Structures are given as C-alpha cells and as structure tokens.
Structure 1
C-alpha cells in the first residue's frame, strides 16, 4: 500500500496505510480452523443498480483432525443453504462475521470434504462503492463477498465465475478465462492456483480493459474505471519496465499473470496489492496516483504477497522494503543520491517522536512510520552490511521464503546469516528503538551534522 494515503470510509477497522487488513474478529478462534483449504470455487452475480450480490461458493478442504463443525468468515451476506458433501448441513451466522457449519455427520481426520454455501444480499464491510457506480472489494476482506478462511494463512486454488449486466465488467486476480456474452449479461472467469484469501480482490465497474503480454508471454490485464484512462494509461504502459527492474532486484516475477486496476472510491482511497494485480482505490487523485505508487504496489508482489508478513507487527517486512524499492528506482532511473536523501530525512525528523517509534514490537501492530522511518532504516541496513550482502538479501529472501507468512525476527536472522555477523545492536537501534540510533548505526559513510 502506498504511503501517504488512508483507508476509505467503510473499509472496516483497517489501519491507515497498511497493506493487509487483519481479518475480522469474532467468536471463532484459529483453533477452529482445523482443516486445510484446497480450493475456493466462487460463482456470483452482481447487480450494480441495487448493489446486491447472489453467490454460491464451494470450498474443498481436508480435515487435519476430526471436525464436528466447520468455521468460516462471511460478512453482510445472508446464507440461504449449506451442504457438506452434498448433504444438508445446519449452520449459524453471527454479527461478528462468523459462519459455523455443522455437518450431518462428523468429518474424520484426513477426510477430504466439500462445503457448498448459497447466499445473497448486500456485501459486508470492505465492499466499497466506486464513484462510477461500481464496487471493489478491499484487499483482505474476502469475507465481504464470499465465505472464506481469513485467519489461517492458508493458500488455496481460487476460481471465480462472475456475471454482471451487459456493459459492466469484472476483474479479479490471476488469469482471465473466457468471457461469455449473454442476451443481457456478461460472465467473466478468473483463476489463480495458490492464493491466500487475504490477497484477493474483485472489481465490478464499467471498465475499459487492456489485454497484453510481457516479453515472456505472461498475460497482463489492465482495467480502467470511467474517466481514469487518460491519466493512468501512461503509468500502466511502464509496467514491463517496472517488472523488469524489480526482477533484477528480487528475482523472477513470482506469478503467472500481471496487471493493474485503476478505480476511484474516494480521494483518500489507498493503493493495494492483491496477488498479481494491484488495485488503486484513489486513482482519480493525482496527488497519490503516480509512478511511485505503481512501483511500490508491484514491489509487494515479492515483498508482501509471494512472501508475506505474518501479523501486523511484522508489517515492516512488506512496507519498509516496498517503500525503499521506490528509493532504489529513483537511484537507478534518475541518479538519486540516496545517502543524501537518507541524511536529509533523518535531519528533518530528529525531533519527531512519532517518526522514531519502534518499527517492530511483538504483538503490537506497526504504525504509519513504516512509510517514513522504514526506508531510512533499510538504507542504514544497506550501509551497515554493504551492497553485496544487501542486494543478496533482497534477492534471496523472496526466493527462499516463497509462499511463507513470516515474522520479522526471521528476517533479522536471515540478514545476519547472509552478512556473516551479529547485527543485534543495529536491529535494536533501528527497528526496536524509539530514539535516534547511535552514530555507528545511522549510516556508515553518510555524513551527519
């Protein structure tokens, strides 16, 4: 998520500027998620005139232990029926977005099973109306539009079949399938082989859609809501250049599809990074909709999606690295002096207590200063261990932790391993400390007053 923007009203309890929204709380605990989801197969019809949705989701999973109930998350929508392995199941819904399904017979450990949920109504918190009359699902709020497991860090295959009135379009994550035209409707198909529900999104609007390819044949789908194409098409055109740059830093692009989605929820709508296809919720605001935002969100495909932070306390693993990537872009493309930027950044904020708040505190969500202090902390790390070790870290981390949800201390240990020395004092100074770091840790070779 790009720095300097706040979450649009209606996005629930999202932390301003955070890339991933913690799943809604409720009576169902993580201990109830004793199953592994293999696939979400979602079919939905959306009616923009009434802002209502009808859907059927089939969840295929394997039980890790014997199950007397299956706990899912679903917000706003009303469940009409549930079956487990084609047998009618009882269920309860709560105001806290919990859907608890009780199968006719218990599911034994190791059993593969399918839960089919039919529902309709107005999507829940995180389903955001656009100014052009459509809607977009805020990343991390999958339960606003289909029943999901949002707390288990559980990647699964995802398939979406979405029908809208003629003249409307649907864009989601992954690869696009056939588009089917009916007499009064159009049906879109999207699929992604392994994705966490926290990294899903869908957009419905009167979209202009461009379909192109990267040099290696990776399909690129770029979508523009009405009135945004002229301003954002030049940014979208630079996607191949941006992904080439990021691949040089971080290794090959980690997915089989790419693109961008430009919509407008409101002027403060944040840029977000669903898997394969970032969504810019305030694309009509020229202050935030710029090249830096595109570089930042695409960097999250490596740092934040392919390799994800585990909790909001570990947010620096996504945001500190993504913001610093925009510094590296400026250095490579425009010759920016990052030592000077780092020095000036520190001098301008020496007396700002909020700036120096810890970037990592176990059990405490990281604050907005991941966008301000974060990139300087990463630059100081670069100066501390040298370019050879630093760029080795940038490339090896997403490759060696692909598919993982990782805590910040593991990153510290990884850096120490690559650098070949103990960096405890440095990390304590910059990431756990709340004051200006010691002179030896501010940035080797950078002249401070």
Structure 2
C-alpha cells in the first residue's frame, strides 16, 4: 500500500501547518492537552482502537461504484473527549484522506500504517463534545486475518460486502475500531441503478434520482461496536415481515440463492420469539438476515440486527447461533477481544437449547459430544493464546460447556434467570469475563471458583464430564 510512503510527506505537512499557526499546544483557557493513545492495548490487537475520546455517533455518507470498486466517503464522528486532547487517532486502512476538520476548522492530518492522526487547531477540553469530519476515497482493502479468513471489504460480482470481525471495519470508514467504544450509526449509501445497498438497523429513506441512482439511509439508534457494522451492495431479492408484534424484519438474498433460502428466512420471527422467551426482550429496533453466495463470503457473522450468511452455512443451527448473538455479543459486547468466549459460548449454548426444545437432543448430550472433541481442549476459553486462536473450538465448544456446568451447579430456575438477566444487566454496554463470573455468583448466591478454575481457566481436560 502507498499509505506508508505518504506518511513522511503528511508528517512534514503537519509540522509546517503547526509552525505557520504558531501552535505548540494549549487551547482556550490555557488548557494544555496531550495526544490520545494510538491504541487501547487490547491483549490481541494492541494498536486497535484509540484513547482520549468516546464516540457517540457515526454519520457515514458513502457512494460506491461496483464497476471500478471505488468508494467515496464522508465520516462525521461525534465524540466526547475523556482527557484534554491536543491530537487523537482514528483507525483507517488504505483509503486516501482528502480533508479533515474538527468542529468546522481544518485539522492537520498524518498517517502511519492504519493510524490516522488528527491535530485540531486548538486543544479539546476534557468532557467537551466535538465533531470530526473526514472526507476520503479509494478502493477499500480486503483484510486477511491470521487464521486465513477474509474480512474488511469483499468485492462481489455485482457489488461488495463489508464485514468487520475483528478488525475489518477500518477498511471502509475511519473510527475508534475497538469493541469497547460503541456508538449509534446513520449510514447513507448511494449506488448505481439496479443495485441495492443494505446496512444495519432501520431503513428510514430511499430515493432514486432521474439517472436511476438510489440513495438509502439506514439508522441504528442502539449502540453498536464497529466490528458489527455491515454494508451489503448488490442485486438482492428482499422480503419483509414482523417479529414480536412490532419489530420489522427485512431479509435479503442474492438472486442465485433466493429460492433456496426463502423458507428459512421466513423463520426468523418464530426463532426470535423462542429466543425472547429464553434470553429476554429483543434488544434492537430491527431484525433480519442477508444471504450471499458461498463465493462471496466464507463464514456467517452476527452483524447487528441483520446477520450475514453464505448459503452453504445458512441452516437452522447457524441462524439460531447468529440471532442469539444479538443478545450475547451485539447488545452485551466484550470489553476486549480476550472476552470473545462470552459471545461464542452463549451462541453455541443457544444451539444446544434449541436442539433440546425442538430436536429431541438434551443439552447434556450436546455437552458430552463437545467434551469428547479433543480440539475443544486446546486452551482455556477465557485465555486464547494468540489472536489466531480467537475463533478456535475452545471458545465455542468449551465456552458452551462452561454454561452447561453453571446450569448443573445452580439448577434450571437460577440458570435461566442468569441467561436472561445477564444481557439485561449489561444491555447496550460492554462486559468482561470477571463481570460475568461475579454476576453469576451474585445470582446463584454461591462461590463457583472451583467451576471457573476447571472449566473456564483450566489447562487440561477433566477426567470426566
């Protein structure tokens, strides 16, 4: 990429701009700010995310040309400073920044890899709300993770699909791309005639111009971690329904898989009804699913309010799993990537519960199958050894085993109280593994340290289930 080559020139531009302005730090009232941290020291992605501010809202205005692959973007980011700030960073991969302002005034810009540093003309006081606008363009990157999976911006024959777990959202918009900083979103997308643009949340507006270009506006009022944001551009067949008496359900499928996916897409409302009975009220204003061809996407992902699936993975079990994430992972989000088992363990246990209720397979039998899988014992679910292991079998299978052992230890009544109480307590927030273990013990009224030591943190496989 040419971003590193540009970084030296951009740094010189910053220095000259500051010299010309006579700016050496310090804002109104004599405040002397410091740069926000260029990373949140996540155990697996230490440079991911940024310090010194908390984002409240992203307003993304995008235009995409499937033929050239070019994306034109304008990101309006409203945030609150958590310290006196002289400069701050955004995560952005590859794309060219044309202009940046802070509170309407030009900001100096520098780049170093995926770190975009903005230095406003005057320091920002701690506690102050400020508005950053970044104008950018280019051909977004596809990011290859350590485990070989593809994320970021995935080009398709008729458009593109944006998926972001764990780092890919930086490929299509600048932001504080760590799960600990959640925000509301408004995404406005303009695409050529005959092409649809789908995103998270509720479709609030859709207009077509005389030349056939369509602009769609999507609103997500509930806080969302950036890795859960999605954008699907292409030729889709859509269907609408209502879940839970009031939640609009929008499903979409590539025309090649419309017929094959139709029956299961229609089951989204009834699955959500079963999940609310077990997990508590549905946490979002919209629901649905997007189904792609297998060549367009290699895995299913719980993008908020509208999970995405390749047709080869679009089965009842996977749909139950990704919809369960709306409670566990989307509404209650891990505070760091180390806590990812709180997402995947719960969603896997949702599969076991669904099989128990509808497949004549007791959760105990699913537990025993998982226990016999040697891959599930490669490492403790709460302590993946590397970023490459974040989505390994122990995070899913042994994570679910932890929940089943809790169920055995506290009984069904208390367990199902925990199952719905946990996402209620941390609704629209973030949580750690320690938050979870404290919560379980407070509801159960007992010390479960032995269970945590063996099933959550233990290195070896117990002698028996």
Q: Is the 8 Å Cα contact of residues 244 and 273 (structure 2) preserved in structure 1?
A: no
* Contact 1:63–1:112, Cα closer than 8 Å, also in 2: yes
Q: 1:132 to 1:291 in 2, by over 3 A?
A: farther
Moved more, 75-84 or 150-159: 150-159
Distance 2:44 2:365 in 1: 42
SS in 2 for 1:228: helix
Q: Contact 2:163–2:228 at 8 Å: present in 1 too?
A: no
CA distance in structure 2 between the aligned counterparts of 1:152 and 1:70, rounded to whole angstroms: 18
What are the equivalent positions in structure 2 for 1:249-260 lying under 5 Å apart? 249-260=278-289
Conserved 8 A contact 2:377-2:460? no
Match of 1:88 among 106, 128, 133: 106
State the partner residue of 2:260. 231
Alignment partner of 2:55 out of 37, 43, 47: 37
1:199 lines up with 2:228 in the alignment: yes
C-alpha change, 1:40 and 1:301, in structure 2 (3 Å) is same
Distance 1:303 1:235, change over 3 A: same
1:437 aligns with 2:462: yes
Partner-residue secondary structure (3-state), 1:157: strand
Task: Rate the CA distance shift 1:264–1:129 in 2: closer, same or farther, 3 A.
Answer: farther
**Larger RCO: 1 or 2 (CA < 8 Å, sep 6+):** 1
Report the 3-state secondary structure (helix = DSSP H, G, I; strand = E; otherwise coil) of the residue aligned with 2:272.
helix
User: Contact 1:127/1:135 (CA < 8 Å) preserved in 2?
Assistant: no
Cα drift, residue 25 of structure 1: 5.2
Measured in 1, the distance between the counterparts of 2:61 and 2:105 equals 20
> What is aligned with 1:377?
402
Tell me what 1:12 maps to. none
Instruction: Name stretches of at least 5 consecutive residues in structure 1 with no aligned partner.
Output: 1-21, 443-449
Counterpart of 2:116 (choices 96, 99, 111) is: 99
Offset at residue 36 of structure 1 (A): 2.1
Q: Does 1:119 align with 2:136?
A: yes
Residues 190, 152 of structure 1: CA spacing in aligned structure 2 closer, same or farther, 3 A cutoff? same
C-alpha distance in structure 2 between counterparts of 1:149 and 1:341, whole Å:
38
2:191 matches 1:164: yes
- CA distance in 1: counterparts of 2:83 and 2:366, whole angstroms: 54
The answer on 1:187 being equivalent to 2:215 is: yes
Equivalent residues of 2:376, 2:398 under 8 A apart: no
Change in CA separation of 1:373 and 1:38 when aligned onto 2, cut-off 3 Å: closer
Corresponding residue of 2:348: 323
* Equivalent residue, structure 2, for 1:360: 382
- Report what 2:436 is aligned to: 411
Task: Determine the structure 1 residue equivalent to 2:306.
Answer: 277
- Structure 1 CA distance for aligned equivalents of residues 294 and 88 of structure 2: 34
Distance apart, 1:304 and its partner CA: 0.8
TM-score by length of 2: 0.83
CA distance in 2: counterparts of 1:81 and 1:24, whole angstroms: 31
Partners of 1:356 and 1:373 within 8 A in 2: no
Determine the C-alpha separation between the residues in 1 that align with 2:200 and 2:157. Answer: 21
Shift of 1:319: 0.6
In structure 2, the partner of 1:5 is none
Give the corresponding residue for 1:245: 274
Q: Deviations over 1:369-413 (max 9, x none)?
A: 223333333223212221111111101000011122211122112
Instruction: Map Cα deviations across residues 273-326 of structure 1 (whole Å, 9 max, x no partner).
Output: 11111111x22x2xx221111000000000111011222221221111111111
Instruction: Tell me if the contact between 1:130 and 1:263 (Cα under 8 Å) persists in the aligned partners.
Output: no
CA distance in 2, matches of 1:359, 1:242: 27
- 8 Å CA contact 2:95, 2:140 repeated in 1: yes
Q: Deviations over 1:132-173 (max 9, x none)?
A: 432111134222111111126222221111000011111111
State the distance in 2 between where 1:164 and 1:186 align: 6
1:23–1:105 Cα change, 3 Å:
farther
Work out the CA distance in 1 between the residues paired with 2:266 and 2:85.
50
CA drift at 1:131 = 4.5
User: Which structure's residues are more often helix, by fraction?
Assistant: 2
* Counterpart among 399, 409, 422 of residue 424 in structure 2: 399
User: Structure 1 residues 355, 245: CA separation in 2 closer, same or farther (over 3 Å shift)?
Assistant: same
Q: For the Cα contact (< 8 Å) 1:139–1:273, is it kept in 2?
A: no
Contact 1:353–1:434 (Cα < 8 Å) also in 2 = no
For 1:16, the equivalent position in structure 2 comes to none
Which 10-residue stretch deviates more, 293-302 or 399-408? 399-408
Residue aligning to 2:146: none
Go from structure 1 to structure 2 and tell me whether the alpha carbon gap of 1:310 and 1:65 turns closer, same or farther (over 3 Å shift): closer
The equivalent residue for 2:201 is 174
The farther-off stretch of 244-253 and 306-315 is 306-315
In 2 relative to 1, CA 108–340 (structure 1 residues): closer, same or farther, beyond 3 Å? closer
TM-score normalised over the length of structure 1: 0.85
Q: 1:399 and 1:415 mapped to 2: Cα distance?
A: 13
